[in-house]
Amino acid sequence: MIEQILTKHALEAVSRLFGTQVEPALLAVQRTIPAFRNQGDFSLVVFPLLKISRKSPEETAAMLGQAILESMEEAESFGVVKGYLNIRVKSFYWNQFLAQQSGNGTFGLKHEKEGRPVVVEYSSPNTNKPLHLGHVRNNLLGYSVSQLLSASGRNVIKVNLVNDRGIHICKSMLAWKLFGQGETPESSAKKGDKLVGDYYVLFDRKFKEELAGLMAQGMNEEQATVESVLMKQAREMLLKWEARDEETLELWNKMNAWVYKGFDATYKRLGVDFDRIFYESQTYLLGKKIVEEGLQKGILFRKDDGSVWIDLTENGFDEKLLLRSDGTSVYMTQDLGTAQLRADDFNPGQLIYVVGNEQNYHFDVLKLVLQKLGRPWADSIYHLSYGMVELPEGKMKSREGTVVDADDLMDEMISTARAMTEELGKIEDFNSTEAEALYSMVGLGALKYFILKVDPKKNMTFNPRESIDFNGNTGPFIQYTHARIRSILRKAGEEIQFKGPVSLHPKEAGLLILLYQFPQVLSQAAGELSPSVVANYLFEVAREYNQFYHELTILKEEDPDTRTLRLALSQLSATVIRNGMSLLGIDVPEKM
């Protein structure tokens, strides 16, 4: 990599000029900012060297630039702007790079896998409601992070933990039992996950009606909740479930089967998958055993009411409940069991949990409890905490039925893509099957890109109409750029064999350098677990290519070597866009 070559020569120059050796990190090489690109391709900041050079920033940069120019054959010239040394790389290096990668359809991707597995958990739905917009961000983020880690050479295991037990599940079950009258997905013509979700909302409505009646009798809300017949019945159902009551288990299995079928359809449409699915119903008992182990070791303690806790006050937290007084488990109990199961099954180097930032405390505690229990792999736990996704009109609430259903959202995106694509006249030579495939590709691409281009740590507002614009930093803009390039290559109708050397126009050099950075971008995105790094880089590639396309001729270029260069540049641009978008879970069209 040219950055490594430049760093090596810079370190040697510092040693020669100033008689001392410095750490490589002190001379970080970076792409020159746009304002200085008339002076060079890459920049070094010399301010950290001023103590040893005892000269001004400009003098230090000029001395270092001259020394690098004399020793580094790839360096063509240098420029100085205050404390920035900007180095121009000779055209032969970029010609050589393009010749090496011309026709390489897997440029940027590592195929050899090494190291212990990385387990990435994402989705983690509850079987009392369908997937919604919040789940969409979770699934897209988890899937893309998995793809990025795999592309960077890691062994990745994608897992899903289904929250298939607990009081919230019993609420849906109870509502169906009391008010369902035998309704099924077939009789109602609804997806099973949506049908069960409707009963979760119905429970909440009936519960609130009951609370209002009790509070009208003089009870406060806490008292009314305790006295609620519905809530008592839900708790009794949970106890029956844990006692393996046959009738309760039969209802639970039936309703969960409806939900799983609905989930599978949504996952397939969203383009995400899993290597292994865990179920809380199969891990909470292992969690209980771990809690018992903690009691025996004196790490945990039991209160008078029979509940089990851990005291984390000395660690800056509080006391944490691990088992209720009636013996039923909490989320932490089953997460202990699930973590142990994954450690036993996979011996992972890292356990990544893709879960919203409202669970930051939970995962801090999970890691701490496992450390106190002596699990050596506890340090490998990493919570990829992401911000909430909202709509322009505000937050969503599952219990009140105000969430944006994932299936409905995808329908809306495809419908919007259809309207905008037809309005712009981008399907004039498509048959009906091709057109429908394009609408789906553009609509879902817009959804995925809009969500993934945002730093995971940030909250975001999703605006469907804005996401599907064919201009600006959107998925459709990048998809359209890929289709444009593929059209050019089809019209060229020839095998592209670039060998060089060809002198480079600034637009050619700028695009080449940007494409050259693709492997580094992937490495950075994988290291930061942030698909947004790739998404925003791809927008820059698409924008740079379009400027190159508008400023220079390609198919009508008379010089054959220059024409081949530009076709090879186009081919590599399409490869980078296709490979990068694939890591975001986004397909790109051949024509548009």
At 158-174, the pLDDT tens digits run 999 999 998 999 999 99
Q: Has residue 205 been placed in a domain?
A: yes
User: Residue 394: what pLDDT?
Assistant: 52
Q: Has residue 94 been placed in a domain?
A: no
User: Residue 494: what pLDDT?
Assistant: 81
- Please indicate, yes or no, whether residues 413 and 440 belong to a single structural domain of this protein: yes
Write the CB contacts of 202 (distance below 8 Å, at least 6 apart in sequence): 175, 179
Give the whole-angstrom CA distance, residue 347 versus residue 429: 53
Find, among 176, 190, 73, the residue nearest to 128 by Cα: 176
User: Residue 401: what pLDDT?
Assistant: 47
Q: Has residue 170 been placed in a domain?
A: yes
- Please indicate, yes or no, whether residues 412 and 296 belong to a single structural domain of this protein: no
User: What's the pLDDT band for 328 if we cut at 50, 70, 90?
Assistant: confident
Give the whole-angstrom CA distance, residue 430 versus residue 433: 8
Distance of CA 516 to the CA centre of its chain: 23
User: What's the pLDDT band for 393 if we cut at 50, 70, 90?
Assistant: low
User: Residue 187: what pLDDT?
Assistant: 97
Give the whole-angstrom CA distance, residue 444 versus residue 44: 41
Whether the per-residue pLDDT at 399 is higher than 70: the answer is no
Q: Has residue 452 been placed in a domain?
A: yes
Look at the chain and count its residues: 592
Domain termination site, one of 360, 390, 420: 390
User: Residue 396: what pLDDT?
Assistant: 44
393 burial via Cβ count (<10 Å: 0-12, 13-18, 19+): exposed
Q: Please compute the mean of the pLDDT values over residues 447-457 and round it to a whole number.
A: 96
- Please indicate, yes or no, whether residues 457 and 553 belong to a single structural domain of this protein: yes
Q: Has residue 261 been placed in a domain?
A: yes
Cβ(139)–Cβ(122) below 8 Å: yes
Looking at per-residue pLDDT, the higher value among 19 and 196 belongs to: 196
Cβ(557)–Cβ(566) below 8 Å: yes
User: Residue 464: what pLDDT?
Assistant: 77
User: What's the pLDDT band for 227 if we cut at 50, 70, 90?
Assistant: very high
* Mean pLDDT, all residues of the chain: 93
Give the whole-angstrom CA distance, residue 463 versus residue 137: 13
Q: Please compute the mean of the pLDDT values over residues 227-233 and round it to a whole number.
A: 95
| Total domains present in the chain | 3
| Least confident interval from 344-348, 429-433, 462-466 | 462-466
User: What's the pLDDT band for 569 if we cut at 50, 70, 90?
Assistant: very high
- Please indicate, yes or no, whether residues 76 and 149 belong to a single structural domain of this protein: no
Cβ(272)–Cβ(143) below 8 Å: yes
Q: Please compute the mean of the pLDDT values over residues 479-492 and round it to a whole number.
A: 96
Q: Please compute the mean of the pLDDT values over residues 188-216 and round it to a whole number.
A: 95
Domain termination site, one of 390, 424, 439: 390
- Please indicate, yes or no, whether residues 347 and 413 belong to a single structural domain of this protein: no
- Please indicate, yes or no, whether residues 321 and 204 belong to a single structural domain of this protein: yes
**Tell me, what CATH number does 314's domain have?**
3.40.50.620
Q: Please compute the mean of the pLDDT values over residues 80-91 and round it to a whole number.
A: 92
User: What's the pLDDT band for 430 if we cut at 50, 70, 90?
Assistant: confident
| Least confident interval from 305-309, 313-317, 389-393 | 389-393
Cβ(447)–Cβ(412) below 8 Å: no
- Please indicate, yes or no, whether residues 383 and 422 belong to a single structural domain of this protein: no
User: Residue 469: what pLDDT?
Assistant: 79
- Please indicate, yes or no, whether residues 49 and 165 belong to a single structural domain of this protein: no
Residue 63 sits in which domain range? Answer: 2-89
- Please indicate, yes or no, whether residues 458 and 338 belong to a single structural domain of this protein: no
Find, among 393, 325, 382, the residue nearest to 348 by Cα: 382
Q: Has residue 114 been placed in a domain?
A: no
Per-residue pLDDT of 38-81, as tens digits, reads 889 999 999 999 999 999 999 999 999 999 999 999 999 999 99
Of the chain, the percentage scoring pLDDT greater than 70 comes to 98
- Please indicate, yes or no, whether residues 72 and 160 belong to a single structural domain of this protein: no
Q: Please compute the mean of the pLDDT values over residues 349-375 and round it to a whole number.
A: 95
Highest mean pLDDT of the ranges 4-8, 405-409, 578-582: 578-582
Find, among 580, 588, 590, 553, the residue nearest to 144 by Cα: 580
**Tell me, what CATH number does 507's domain have?**
1.10.730.10
Write the CB contacts of 157 (distance below 8 Å, at least 6 apart in sequence): 117, 118, 119, 120, 275, 276, 346, 348
Element (H, E) at 488: helix 475-492
| Least confident interval from 261-270, 285-294, 323-332, 555-564 | 323-332
Whether the per-residue pLDDT at 314 is higher than 50: the answer is yes
- Please indicate, yes or no, whether residues 241 and 330 belong to a single structural domain of this protein: yes
Measured N-to-C along each axis, helices 331-346 and 360-372 cross at an angle, to the nearest 10 degrees, of 60
- Please indicate, yes or no, whether residues 78 and 197 belong to a single structural domain of this protein: no
Whether the per-residue pLDDT at 468 is higher than 70: the answer is yes
Q: pTM here?
A: 0.91
**Tell me, what CATH number does 17's domain have?**
3.30.1360.70
Q: Has residue 115 been placed in a domain?
A: no
Domain termination site, one of 332, 357, 390: 390
Q: Has residue 399 been placed in a domain?
A: no
